[in-house]
Amino acid sequence: KAGVTQTPRYLIKTRGQQVTLSCSPISGHRSVSWYQQTPGQGLQFLFEYFSETQRNKGNFPGRFSGRQFSNSRSEMNVSTLELGDSALYLCASSTGLNEKLFFGSGTQLSVL
């Protein structure tokens, strides 16, 4: 069974640009959630999608958005990038009916 796949693995952007990250969940998983990891900040919850609907959202500005497709694949978009958006972005999938998350390897975003 394939794991959670995130693309791209690394990304370098400049301030003001926008970026789209992709996440393919484990087959059969209907929930995809996104997290930002920065040094010393742990994992900060961005949002969660279940069956194409955003079920919950963390405390991030509106520049951070996401969506989920009918095949459960999800994308996360960050517009008007700021230097502070440099981070490891992780997505996780689950059945949506229990608590265990399966994470991808993440996308390392650097904003210059």
List interacting residues with other proteins (CB under 8 A). Answer: 4, 6, 33, 35, 40-43, 45, 48, 55-58, 90, 92, 96-106, 108
Closest distance to other proteins from the beta carbon of 28 (Å): 17
Q: Which two tokens stand for residue 75?
A: 């994308």
Between 16 and 61, CB nearer to other proteins: 61
Between 8 and 16, CB nearer to other proteins: 8
Of the candidates 36, 20, 21, 13, which has an alpha carbon nearest to the alpha carbon of residue 83? 13
- Determine contact, residues 11/19, Cβ cutoff 8 Å: yes
Strand spans (E) along 25-86: 31-38, 42-50, 53-57, 64-68, 74-78
Between 78 and 90, CB nearer to other proteins: 90
Closest distance to other proteins from the beta carbon of 30 (Å): 12
